[in-house]
Amino acid sequence: MLRVEKELKDIISAIPPKFRIIILEYAKSIKSRADKGELSDTEYLEKIPGMVDSIIRESKTDRSKYSDKLDW
């Protein structure tokens, strides 16, 4: 865990101070979700039957098969 903490510290120290409030707000949001026992986005998606297979399958699809324009 010390490696992660050091990396976080290094990254934060390299970010200009005016942007650090964004990191603090995001960290508070994550802590709040963790305190409530909420699932991470990944955990939530993994609980949906077939979602992991669908994401893997679509990630292998050639991007040229998709349109640049939205139908909606």
d(C-alpha 66, C-alpha 70), whole Å: 10
Q: Check residues 41 and 53 and name the one with the higher pLDDT.
A: 53
Q: Residue 54 sits in which domain range? A: 7-61
CA quadruple 45, 31, 21, 9: dihedral positive or negative? negative
Alpha-carbon torsion angle 7, 46, 63, 61, nearest 10: 130
User: How many angstroms separate the CA atoms of 61 and 72, rounded?
Assistant: 22
Residue 20 lies in a domain: yes
**Residues 1-15: pLDDT tens digits?**
789 999 999 999 999
Instruction: Output the average pLDDT for the chain.
Output: 90
- The answer to whether residue 38 sits within a structural domain is yes
Number of domains in the chain: 1
Q: What average pLDDT score do residues 9-24 get?
A: 94
Is there a domain that residue 16 lies in?
yes
In a domain, 68, yes or no: no
